[in-house]
Amino acid sequence: MPIIRVALDVPVNTLFDYLAQDVTAQDIGVRVCVPFGKKQVIGVIMEVTTHSLISPSRLRQATHVFQDIPPLPASLLDLFRFCSTYYHHPLGEVVMNGLPGRLRRTKPVAVASVAASRYCLTPAGHAINLSAISARSIIKRRLLAGLQESGGMNIEEVKRLSRRAPAALQEFITLRWVEETLIAPPLTADSLIEITSPGPVLTADQESAVNDVAAKINDFNTWLLHGITGSGKTEVYLRLISLLLRQGRQTLVLVPEINLTPQLEAIFRTRFPAIQLVSLHSGLTPGERVNAWLQAQRGEARIILGTRLAVFTPLPKLGLVIVDEEQDTSFKQQEGLRYSARDVAIFRAKHANAPVILGSATPSLESYYNAINGRYLRLRLQSRAVKNAALPVVRCLDTRSARTKEGFSVPLIAALEKCLALHQQSLVFINRRGYAPVLLCKSCAWTATCHRCASRLVVHLREKQLRCHHCGHQERFPSACPKCGDQDIAPFGHGTQRVEAALAERFPKARIVRIDRDSMRRKNAWQKILKDIQERRVDILVGTQILAKGHDFPNLSLVSILNSDASLFSTDFRAPERLFAQLMQVAGRAGRATISGEVLIQTEFPDHPLYQALRRHDYDALAQTLLAERKTAGFPPYVYQALLRAEALQIAAALAFLARAAAIAKAPEQVEIFDPVPAQMSRLKGMERAHLLIQSGSRKQLQEFLSGWRSKLDALSTHKVRWTLDVDPLEF
């Protein structure tokens, strides 16, 4: 009997062997139900073989081989293998976590939920004689006859036979009399791609970017589309997607933020009305997600738009990958398999021999470095696409000399006032939600902290609550200082709620809207607000970085930035890069249409190189400065890093584990291992955290070292310590 090697969702880096009747190499990529200990669990067949290291008498039998959907394609299994190897994460976990929830259950996906597939008889099904089916099974007979006559049916046709026909169909599938066809309806006719609006005349920059990629449209290359805000990167994507559609191929488009999908989706749908597009993100119901996923797998969905998890969608006809806002850190998953969707997307494109486009106004230093090195090909869009839409004027308001009231300096208030008078919109950016970041006792300097995390509790005045933004813990507002009993405790510093309140008091007639994670909680809240902004029912927007990302606000003329100085002096070496990207993005919201824009930054450090670069819209200058600093300090992109992260109830246990791990590491000279240290966020959700940094000038050396070392770490584990490896970490 054949032996199948199965990927299971267990934290051990091995496949599990089972016996399975009638299984052939065709079944690689099929889901199976197998006994595991006392439980039945689901897994995926990764290999089919005839021998096993486990003695035949101890091999158990697979319980069920699913035939509800076609096998996962080999390219997707390769992608999982790559992630397992590169991130040193157990293959079974990688595979199972990459699948939609509905495919991780130990029951088949309901056929009825899978619209638009065709069901055809297999050779075995054709060989069945009608008389072999009991005369009492009328529905089965009818279904078999129907399939024989029609040569294939879709689920609607099956349902028309009888309400119970789908169940019979499911049975036929299990018996392997019927299979679902993978072949999507042919998409060759240009009429299908029919472009109702052909799009604007390209700017010279756009045109040369499109032409450059088009000339190599069927080759793998990583293109860095470096275009200032408002330069029309989306239009470049659209033109290239249209090329691919004409070839009958699929495009994967990754965006950092779920809120960005509806807007982009609408743009794509308007341009390509006849094309099947699916969007994949965490906001979908499990049924919607599996359906979208299956449409992609069948090759029917031509455009797959999604957040990072969409990078694991099966795409049999992948022809182009786009990663928009490639520098965004939300492409990196921060738990479980700590993958970077951007980097995985590049691997995918390479494997599919397709181009990948990384789009950004402020590329990550890694990508920028690769572009100036020639490893990536750089495309530049240097001017704004809309005629007469100049880049906004950026000015610093020195808050050392100018007094501020409730966070606002006099010139800033005046600028807001002027905007209101002109009926133009303005935006106040402050990257802190809540009312104030700190609750402080004025007599003894006590501050409210989270008992589970090494963080301060944020004051949410409206809800009369203190909240931890790291673990979600909430508590009532104390009436007096718990330490000294003084009642003079007060919020300190500013968050979005406080800024909103201050503005409401100063400009009672203005229509003010706050946009942060708290106000966006309700479903469709964002859609509604966007509409209000577009239709000019809003005068002042107050918000966090959610506002900054990619949105087009044509009536916005003033952007003001409060409290960004803290990030200038962070211990995180990536903080300046992030701050700059964030500020460029927010600044880029201003003056996108024909009204000119202005950006005002309140700062105590107006001469800081970061603000200077921002004033000149000079990404390159800052990138060069930061790269020089990174080179001197020996930071990425000049070195490659991995972190061994450990957490335990007591920091000592975590540190001890890391010390043992360091002791058994036989690192070659080119690989450097640092001392174990507590993490920057040294306590989170009640667990104390520490890490060990490993770095090397050679990615290959680092990877080789990690492979050998990883396999020895399991033996060091104790139940007290949880650990993970984080390759190319972004957080420390």
Which residues does the annotation place in the binding site?
Answer: 441, 444, 450, 453, 468, 471, 481, 484
In the block, tokens 């056929």 appear at 111
Min dist. Cβ of residue 237 to Zn ion (A): 39
Q: For residue 638, which of 366, 396, 450, 451 has the smallest C-alpha distance?
A: 366
17: enclosing H helix or E strand: strand 16-19
Q: How far is the CB of 589 from ligand ADP (least distance, A)?
A: 9
Query: Which residues have CB under 8 Å from 239's CB, separation 6+?
Result: 199, 202, 206, 210, 214
- State which residue, 533 or 713, has the beta carbon closest to ligand ADP: 533
Q: What is the largest CA-CA distance in the chain?
A: 95
Q: Which does 229 bind (CB under 5 to 8 A by kind): ligand ADP, Zn ion, none?
A: ligand ADP
Structural contact between residues 327 and 359, judged by C-beta atoms closer than 8 angstroms: no
Neighbours of 3 (CB within 10 A): 20
- For 363, the 3-state DSSP assignment is coil
Name the minimum Å distance from CB 236 to ligand ADP: 8
Binding residues among 526-565 for ligand ADP as defined by CB under 6 A: 552
Rg (CA), the chain: 29
Q: Which does 450 bind (CB under 5 to 8 A by kind): ligand ADP, Zn ion, none?
A: Zn ion
Minimal distance, residue 399 CB to Zn ion, in Å: 28
Nearest residue to 585 (alpha-carbon basis) of 373, 402, 361, 353 = 361
Residues 183-202 that bind ligand ADP (CB under 6 A): 200-202
Residue 227, contacted partner among ligand ADP, Zn ion, none, CB below 5-8 A by kind: ligand ADP
Beta pairing partners, 180? 119
Tokens of 358: 């990384």
Binding site feature residues for Zn(2+): 441, 444, 450, 453, 468, 471, 481, 484
Q: Which is nearer to Zn ion, 207 or 486 (CB)?
A: 486
Q: What is the DSSP letter of 111?
A: G
Nearer to Zn ion, 82 or 446 (CB): 446
Determine the interface stretch with ligand ADP among 103-111, 222-230, 596-604, 678-686 (rule: CB under 6 A).
Answer: 222-230
Query: Stretches 147-155, 232-240, 435-443, 656-664: which one binds ligand ADP (CB under 6 A)?
Result: 232-240
Distance CA 522, CA 190 (A): 41
Q: Any contact of residue 230 with ligand ADP (CB under 6 A)?
A: yes
**Least distance (Å) from ligand ADP to the CB of residue 359?**
7
DSSP 544: -
Question: Does residue number 170 form part of the binding site for ligand ADP (CB under 6 A)?
Answer: no
User: How are strands ordered across the β-sheet holding 118-121?
Assistant: 153-154, 118-121, 178-180
At 326, list the tokens.
Answer: 């490639």
Smallest distance from the beta carbon of 342 to ligand ADP, in angstroms?
17
Q: Which phi and psi angles does 34 have, rounded to 5°? A: -135, 155
Q: Output 67 or 585, the one with its CB closest to ligand ADP.
A: 585
Q: Which of residues 274 and 471 has its CB atom nearest to Zn ion in the complex?
A: 471
- What's the closest the beta carbon of residue 458 comes to Zn ion, in angstroms? 10
Which position among 9, 27, 205, 235 is part of the footprint of ligand ADP (CB under 6 A)?
A: 235
- Residue whose CB is nearest to ligand ADP in the complex, by number: 232
Nearer Cβ to ligand ADP, position 585 or 603? 585
Q: Residue 164 carries which DSSP code?
A: T
Residue among 252 and 385 whose Cβ is closer to ligand ADP: 385
Burial label for 42, CB within 10 Å (0-12, 13-18, 19+), is buried
Least Å distance between CB 427 and ligand ADP? 15
Among residues 229, 367, 399, 455, the one that binds ligand ADP under rule CB under 6 A: 229
Residue 570: both structure tokens together: 């962070």
Q: How many whole angstroms separate alpha carbon 425 and alpha carbon 419? A: 7
Q: Which does 471 bind (CB under 5 to 8 A by kind): ligand ADP, Zn ion, none?
A: Zn ion
Q: Which two tokens stand for residue 212?
A: 């450059």
Rule CB under 6 A: choose which of 227, 355, 363, 434 binds ligand ADP. 227
d(C-alpha 443, C-alpha 399), whole Å = 27
Binding site for Zn ion (CB under 5 A): 441, 443-444, 446, 450, 452-453, 468, 470-471, 473, 481, 483-484, 486
In whole angstroms, what is the distance from residue 27 CA to residue 24 CA? 6
| Token pair for 651 | 């920091």
Number of neighbours of residue 176 by Cβ within 10 angstroms = 14
Residue 19 makes contact with ligand ADP by CB under 6 A:
no
Q: Which does 552 bind (CB under 5 to 8 A by kind): ligand ADP, Zn ion, none?
A: ligand ADP
Of ligand ADP, Zn ion, none, which one sits near residue 200, judging by CB under 5 to 8 A according to partner kind? ligand ADP
> What sections of 316-427 are H helices per DSSP?
341-351, 365-373, 410-421
Whether the CB-CB separation of 699 and 679 falls below 8 Å is answered with no
At 302, is the secondary structure helix, strand, or coil?
coil
Contact track, ligand ADP, 354-393, x by CB under 6 A = -------------------------------xx-------
Beta carbon nearer to Zn ion, 351 or 473: 473
For ligand ADP, what does the binding mask look like between residues 416 and 455, x meaning CB under 6 A?
Answer: ----------------------------------------
The footprint of ligand ADP (CB under 6 A) covers 200-203, 206, 227, 229-235, 385-386, 552
